Amino acid sequence: MGSHHDEYQVQPGKIFTKPFFVLLALVVVGFALIAYRFFAGVGAVTGLSDGYPWGIWIAYDVATGTAFACGGYALALLIYIMNRWKYHPLIRSALLTSVFGYCLAGFSVMVDLGRYWNAYSFFLPTRWQPNSIMFEVALCVMTYSMVLIIEFLPAVLYTLEQSQWRWVRESAHWLYPRLLPDREALHSGLTVVSKVAGHVQVRLDKVLIFFIVLGITLPSMHQSSLGSMMIVAGEKLNPLWQTGFLPLLFLINCVFIGYATVMFESIVSSYSFKRPYEVHEISGIARIVPMVAGLWMAVRFGDLVWRHQIPAIFAFDMNSCFFLLEVLLIGGGAFMLLSKKNRLSPRMLFVSGAILMLGGGLFRFNVYLIGFNPGAGWSYFPSFAEFMITVGIVALEILGYLVLVKIFPVMPNPKKHFEEAEEETELVGDAVPARMFAGK
Amino acid sequence: MGKEAFLREGVSRRDFIKTCVAATAVMGLPYSMHTKVAEAAQKANKPPVIWLHFQECTGCSESLLRAGHPDVASLILDMISLDYHETLMIGSGHQAEQSLHDSMKANHGKYILVVEGAIPTKDKGIYCKVGGTTAIDSLTRAAEGAAAIITIGTCAAYGGIQSAPPNPTGAVGVRDLIKNKPIVNIPGCPPNPYNFLSTVLYYLTFNKLPELDSMGRPKFAYGRKIHEHCERRPHFDAGRFATAYGDKTHAEGYCLYKLGCKGPATFANCSVQRFNDAGVWPVSVGHPCIGCTEPEILFRKPIAEKLQIHLPTPPDTYAPAELGQKGPGVSPLATGVVGIAGGAALGAGAMLTKKLPSGEEGHEKHD
- Res B311: pLDDT: 67
Strand partners, B27: none
In this structure, what DSSP letter does residue B300 have? T
| B44 lies within 8 A of chain A by CB | no
Q: Assess whether pLDDT exceeds 50 at residue B250.
A: yes
Q: What is the pLDDT of residue A254?
A: 93
Residue B98 pLDDT greater than 70, yes or no: yes
Runs of H (alpha helix) within A47-90: 56, 65-68, 71-76
Q: What is the mean pLDDT of residues A154-177?
A: 78
The residues facing B150 across adjacent strands are: B114, B184
Q: Which pLDDT score, from 0 to 100, does residue A201 have? A: 83
Closest CA to A260 of A323, A348, A322, A341: A348
Which residue, among A396, A314, A385, has the nearest Cα to A35 in the 3D structure?
Answer: A385
Sign of CA dihedral B322, B327, B328, B330: negative
Distance CA B259, CA B266 (A): 15
- A1 has a pLDDT exceeding 60: no
Question: In the structure, what pLDDT confidence band is assigned to residue A428 with cuts at 50, 70 and 90?
Answer: very low
Please tell me whether the peptide bond between B166 and the residue prior to it is cis, using omega within 30 degrees of 0.
yes
pTM confidence score:
0.58
Question: Out of A19-33, A192-206, A344-358, which region has the weakest mean confidence (pLDDT)?
Answer: A192-206
Work out the average pLDDT over B95-99.
Answer: 86
% of residues, chain A, pLDDT over 90: 34
- Identity of the residue numbered B313: T
Question: Does the beta carbon of B361 lie under 8 angstroms from any beta carbon of chain A?
Answer: no
Contact B274, B285 (CB under 8 A): no
> For A111-139, what is the mean pLDDT?
87
Q: What's the pLDDT score for residue A423? A: 45
More confident residue, B327 or A386: A386
Average pLDDT (A62-77) is 89
Local confidence band at B315 (pLDDT 50, 70, 90 cut-offs): low
Kindly list the residues from chain B whose CB atom is less than 8 angstroms away from the CB atom of residue A381: 329-331, 334-335
When pLDDT is cut at 50, 70 and 90, the band that residue A315 belongs to is confident
CA A37 to chain B, closest CA, distance in angstroms equals 16
Residue B5 has pLDDT above 50, yes or no: no
Q: How remote is the C-alpha of A322 from its chain's centroid?
A: 24
The residue among B107 and A167 whose pLDDT is bigger is B107
Q: Indicate left, alpha or beta for A411 from its phi (over 0: left) and psi (-120 to 50: alpha).
A: beta
Give me the percent of chain B exceeding a pLDDT of 70.
84
Burial of residue A50, with CB atoms counted within 10 A of its CB: 0-12 exposed, 13-18 middle, 19 or more buried? exposed
What does the pLDDT average to over A218-243? Answer: 89
The predicted structure's pLDDT at residue B314: 63
Mean of pLDDT values over B72-82: 66
pLDDT tens readout for residues B208-220: 889 999 999 999 9
pLDDT-based confidence at residue A232 (cuts at 50, 70, 90): confident
Which residue among B352, B353, B362 places its CB closest to the CB of A279? B362
- Count of Cβ atoms closer than 10 Å to residue B361 Cβ: 12
How far apart, in whole angstroms, are the C-alpha atoms of residue A278 and residue A280? 6
Q: Which 326-345 residues of chain B touch chain A by CB within 8 A?
A: 326-331, 333-335, 337-338, 341
Q: Which of A99-103, A187-191, B67-71 has the lowest mean pLDDT?
A: B67-71
Task: Answer yes or no: do A268 and B352 touch at CB < 8 A.
Answer: yes
Given an 8 Å threshold on Cβ–Cβ distance, is B358 in contact with A345? yes
- Across the strands, what pairs with B172? B119
Residue A391: list chain B partners with CB under 8 A. Answer: 341
- State ipTM: 0.77
Instruction: Find the mean pLDDT for residues A205-232.
Output: 87
pLDDT in tens, B13-72: 777 777 777 777 766 666 677 777 777 766 656 778 899 999 999 998 888 776 555 455
Measure B319 CA to nearest chain A CA, in Å: 10
* Residue B50: CB atoms within 10 Å: 24
DSSP secondary-structure letter at A175?
Answer: H
**Residue among B324, B353, B367 whose CB faces A377 most closely:** B324
Kindly determine whether residue A381 and residue B330, on different chains, have CB atoms separated by under 8 Å: yes
pLDDT band at B361 (very low <50, low <70, confident <90, very high): low
Q: What single-letter amino acid sits at B186?
A: I
Determine the pLDDT at residue B74.
60
Determine whether A123 is exposed, middle or buried from the number of CB atoms within 10 Å of its CB (0-12, 13-18, 19+): exposed
Smallest Cα–Cα separation from A158: which of A112, A215, A199, A187?
A199
* A358-367 confidence digits (pLDDT tens): 999 999 999 9
Mutation target among A68, A263, A271 for the B interface, most CBs of B within 10 A: A271
The partner residue sitting opposite A277, judged by closest CB among B325, B331, B363, is: B363
Range in A14-28, A224-238, A416-430, B256-270 with the lowest mean pLDDT: A416-430
* Secondary structure class of A177 (helix, strand, coil): coil
Across residues B277-293, what is the average pLDDT? 90
**pLDDT-based confidence at residue B360 (cuts at 50, 70, 90):** low
The residue-averaged pLDDT of B170-174 equals: 94
CB contact under 8 A, B331 and A47: yes
Mean per-residue pLDDT, B90-108: 86
Q: Tell me the chain B residues in contact with residue A50 when contact means C-beta distances shorter than 8 Å.
A: 326-327
B153 within 8 A of B160, measured Cβ to Cβ: yes
Residue of B nearest to A340 (CA): B360
Q: Provide, as residue numbers in chain A, all residues whose Cβ is less than 8 Å from the Cβ of B364.
A: 276
Torsion, Cα of A195, A199, A200, A204 (10° steps): 150
Give strand pairing partners of B118: B55
Interface with chain B: mutation pick from A68, A383, A418, highest number of B CBs within 10 Å: A383
How confident is the model over A330-350, as pLDDT tens digits? Answer: 999 999 999 888 888 899 999
- In this prediction, residue A186 carries a pLDDT of 75
Distance of CA A391 to the CA centre of its chain: 16
The confidence score (pLDDT) of residue A435 equals: 38
